C-alpha cells in the first residue's frame, strides 16, 4: 500500500469498528494498482455525514450536501463521502439529486468506468464488482453498465474516457467507443469549464496524440468550444514526441499549431473561457513563435513573463536546436528583464531638472528602455541621464 493509504488506515479502521463500511475508492485505487503515484485519497463509507461527524473529533463540512465530510487526522484532511446514488439526469449535466445509501455496490455502480469503480479495504483487499481488475490488466476503458445510458446521463464522461485514455495509454472498449460516437453532440450541453479540465488533462497525457485522433474520428472535436482547428496533424505530430509540462504550455502550444488569425485566436480563448494567465501567455508567445524569423531582442524582452513557456513551446514544435539556443542565449543576455530594473526613473529625471512632467517623459523612458534592452546603452544613471539630455536636445 502507498504511504498515503497507510496514514489513512486508522480512519477506515475506526469507521469499521463502529459498524460501518469504509473503502478507498476512485483514482487513488486505480493508480495504486497500476503502481503509479497517487495525488488525492478518496474514501467512501456507508456512514452518513452526521454519523461520520459524531465519530471523529475534528471534522470540516466541506461538501456536506453532497455527502462529503473532511476528517482531520494529524494535520492531514481526508474527504469521506457517504455511499450515494444519483437520480435522473434531466439536463445531461448534473444529477438532479443525490441520495445517501448504505450499499457499496450502489455507489460503485454510478461511477464512470470500471477501472474507477474499484474499492479497497484498509487492509488492501480489493472489491471488484465490475471486472475493473481485468480492464486494468488489459488496458481498457469501459463504461460501468450500459455505455449509451451512462453517457446520456452525463456527457462529460465522454471527455473523461478520452483523457483517461491519454493519461493511461488505455484503449476505449468498443461499445463505449460506439456510444461516444453516437452521443458526442451532447457535449455541447456541458459547461465549458468542466470540459476544459478534462481536455487539459488529455493534452498533458503521454498518449495525447492518440486521444486527439479518437476525438477527431468520433467527431467529439466538433462539439468542443472554439473555432475549428483545420490542421490537427501538426499538433498531433508534436505530441507524438513529447507533451507539455503544464496546462499553460499545452494551450499556447495548441494555439501556435492551430494556425489561427488574430480574431480566431481571441475567439478560441474566449469560447474556452481560458484564464487571464493563459490568455496573457498566448498573446505574448503565439505571435513570436509564428514569426520567429523577424523576432527582435526587444520582442523577446517584452515577453519576459513568458520566457519559459516560449522556450518549451519552441522545443515542442521541434524547432532546430540552433534557433532554440539563439533565443535562450538572448534571454540569458538581456540586460534587464522588466522596466523597473532600469537604473533611472521619471521622478529622478524631474528632480534633476532634466525634464518636466508631461507626455514627452513617457516617450523618453520608452526610448531609454529600448536602448538598454538592445545593448546600445549601459544601465547606469549617469549614462542614461546623458542620453536623456541628448534626446531632449534633439527634440528641439
Q: Spell out the residues 6+ positions from residue 22 whose beta carbon is closer than 8 angstroms to its own.
A: 11, 12, 15, 16, 43, 44, 45, 46, 47, 80, 122
Residues 343, 346, 347, CA angle at the centre, nearest 5°? 100
Q: Is 156 in the site for ligand ATP (CB under 6 A)?
A: yes
Task: Annotate each residue in 2-41 with x if it binds ligand ATP (CB under 6 A) or - if it does not, as one string.
Answer: ------------------------xx--------------
Query: According to CB under 6 A, which one of 111, 253, 306, 307 is a site residue for ligand ATP?
Result: 111
Query: According to CB under 6 A, which one of 107, 135, 154, 200 is a site residue for ligand ATP?
Result: 154
The item of ligand ATP, Mg ion, none sharing an interface with residue 157, based on CB under 5 to 8 Å by kind, is: ligand ATP
Say if residues 245 and 291 touch (Cβ distance below 8 Å).
Answer: no
CA 297/CA 125 separation, integer angstroms: 60
Q: What is the chain's alpha carbon radius of gyration, rounded to the nearest angstrom?
A: 28
**Which C-beta is closer to ligand ATP: that of 117 or that of 286?**
117
Helical packing angle, 156-168 and 174-183, nearest 10°: 140
The item of Mg ion, ligand ATP, none sharing an interface with residue 154, based on CB under 5 to 8 Å by kind, is: ligand ATP
In the bound complex, what is the minimum distance in angstroms from residue 53's beta carbon to ligand ATP?
A: 22
Instruction: Looking at residues 34 to 93 of the shown chain, list those that interact with Mg ion (rule: CB under 5 A).
Output: 40
The answer to whether 351 is a known ligand-binding residue is no
The answer to whether 42 is a known ligand-binding residue is yes
Instruction: Looking at residues 116 to 145 of the shown chain, list those that interact with ligand ATP (rule: CB under 6 A).
Output: 116-117
**Which C-beta is closer to ligand ATP: that of 96 or that of 341?**
96
In this structure, the strands spanning 68-73 and 59-63 are antiparallel
In the bound complex, what is the minimum distance in angstroms from residue 254's beta carbon to Mg ion?
A: 24
Say if residues 272 and 264 touch (Cβ distance below 8 Å).
Answer: no
The item of Mg ion, ligand ATP, none sharing an interface with residue 156, based on CB under 5 to 8 Å by kind, is: ligand ATP
Query: According to CB under 5 A, which one of 2, 27, 259, 287 is a site residue for Mg ion?
Result: 27
Cell numbers for 334? 538581456
The answer to whether 30 is a known ligand-binding residue is yes
Say if residues 322 and 353 touch (Cβ distance below 8 Å).
Answer: no
Q: How far apart are the first and last CA of the chain?
A: 78
Range 225-229 contact pairs with CB under 8 angstroms and sequence separation of 24 or more: 225/192, 225/195, 225/268, 225/271, 225/272, 225/273, 226/267, 226/268, 226/271, 226/272, 227/260, 227/264, 227/267, 227/268, 227/271, 229/254, 229/257, 229/258, 229/259, 229/260
Q: Is 335 in the site for Mg ion (CB under 5 A)?
A: no
Instruction: Looking at residues 293 to 322 of the shown chain, list those that interact with ligand ATP (rule: CB under 6 A).
Output: none
Q: Which stretch binds ligand ATP (CB under 6 A): 98-106, 152-160, 205-213, 241-249?
A: 152-160
Residues that bind ligand ATP (CB under 6 A): 26-27, 42, 111-112, 116-117, 154, 156-157
Binding residues for ATP: 27, 30, 111, 154, 157, 160, 163
Amino acid at each position: 500500500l502507498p504511504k498515503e493509504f497507510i496514514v489513512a488506515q486508522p480512519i477506515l479502521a475506526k469507521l469499521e469498528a463502529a459498524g460501518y463500511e469504509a473503502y478507498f475508492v476512485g483514482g487513488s485505487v486505480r493508480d495504486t494498482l497500476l503502481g503509479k503515484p497517487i495525488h488525492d485519497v478518496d474514501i467512501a463509507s456507508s456512514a452518513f455525514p452526521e454519523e461520520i461527524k459524531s465519530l471523529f473529533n475534528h471534522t470540516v463540512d466541506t461538501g456536506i450536501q453532497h455527502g462529503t465530510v473532511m476528517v482531520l487526522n494529524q494535520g492531514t484532511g481526508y474527504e469521506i463521502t457517504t455511499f450515494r446514488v444519483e437520480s435522473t439526469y434531466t439536463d445531461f449535466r448534473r444529477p438532479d439529486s443525490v441520495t445517501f445509501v448504505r450499499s457499496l455496490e450502489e455507489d460503485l455502480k454510478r461511477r464512470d468506468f470500471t477501472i474507477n469503480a474499484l474499492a479497497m479495504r484498509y487492509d488492501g483487499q480489493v472489491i471488484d464488482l465490475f471486472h475493473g481488475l481485468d480492464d486494468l490488466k488489459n488496458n481498457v476503458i469501459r463504461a460501468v453498465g450500459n455505455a449509451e445510458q451512462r453517457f446520456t446521463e452525463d456527457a462529460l464522461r465522454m471527455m473523461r474516457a478520452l483523457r483517461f485514455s491519454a493519461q493511461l495509454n488505455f484503449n476505449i472498449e468498443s461499445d463505449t467507443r460506439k456510444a461516444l460516437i453516437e452521443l458526442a453532440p451532447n457535449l455541447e450541453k456541458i459547461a465549458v469549464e468542466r470540459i476544459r479540465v478534462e481536455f487539459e488533462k488529455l493534452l498533458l497525457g503521454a498518449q495525447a496524440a492518440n486521444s486527439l485522433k479518437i476525438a477527431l474520428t468520433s467527431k467529439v472535436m466538433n462539439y468542443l468550444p472554439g473555432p475549428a482547428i483545420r490542421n490537427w496533424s501538426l499538433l498531433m505530430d508534436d505530441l507524438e514526441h513529447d507533451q507539455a509540462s503544464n496546462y499553460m504550455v499545452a494551450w499556447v502550444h495548441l494555439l501556435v499549431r492551430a494556425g489561427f488569425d488574430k480574431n480566431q485566436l481571441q475567439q478560441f480563448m474566449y469560447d474556452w473561457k481560458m484564464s487571464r494567465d493563459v490568455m496573457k501567455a498566448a498573446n505574448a508567445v503565439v505571435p513570436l513563435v509564428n514569426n520567429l524569423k523577424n523576432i527582435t531582442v526587444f520582442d523577446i524582452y517584452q515577453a519576459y513573463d513568458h520566457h519559459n513557456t516560449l522556450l518549451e513551446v519552441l522545443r515542442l514544435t521541434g524547432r532546430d536546436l540552433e534557433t532554440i539556443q539563439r533565443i535562450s542565449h538572448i534571454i540569458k543576455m538581456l540586460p534587464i528583464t522588466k522596466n523597473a530594473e532600469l537604473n533611472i526613473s521619471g521622478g529622478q529625471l524631474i528632480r534633476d531638472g532634466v525634464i518636466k512632467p508631461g507626455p514627452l517623459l513617457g516617450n523618453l523612458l520608452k526610448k531609454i528602455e529600448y536602448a538598454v534592452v538592445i545593448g546600445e546603452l549601459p544601465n547606469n544613471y549617469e549614462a542614461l541621464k546623458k542620453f536623456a539630455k541628448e534626446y531632449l536636445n534633439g527634440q528641439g
